[in-house]
Amino acid sequence: MTPERYQQVKSAFRLALEFPPGQRDTLLHQLCGGDDELRIEVQDLLDNDALPSTPLDRPAVGTQFRLRAMSLSHTATRQ
């Protein structure tokens, strides 16, 4: 990504954050026009921003633990 493109994405993302989620689609349509790549970049950032961001917001038992438990369970049944 070029520095100019980065600035474009960053500006659109920051502006979109100032609007309620229900109004962002219209805003992105206006900001991005026919630039689908810009719209996708900004939408990805908005989606990521909406995810839980602190350890207290995330589940205590993560995917790695569940995968390890499944692996151990599978190994135990084969013996």
2-56 confidence digits (pLDDT tens): 889 889 989 988 999 898 888 989 999 998 888 999 999 998 888 887 766 666 6
Question: pTM, whole model, 2 decimals?
Answer: 0.61
Q: Using an 8 Å Cβ cutoff, are 46 and 58 in contact?
A: no
**Cα(40)–Cα(38) distance, rounded to whole angstroms?**
5
What whole-number distance in Å separates Cα of residue 38 and Cα of residue 41? 5
Residue with tokens 């350890």: 55
H helix count then E strand count, the chain: 4, 0
Q: Are 42 and 27 in contact (CB under 8 A)?
A: no
pLDDT band at 57 (very low <50, low <70, confident <90, very high): low
Nearest Cα residue to 11 out of 23, 27, 26: 27
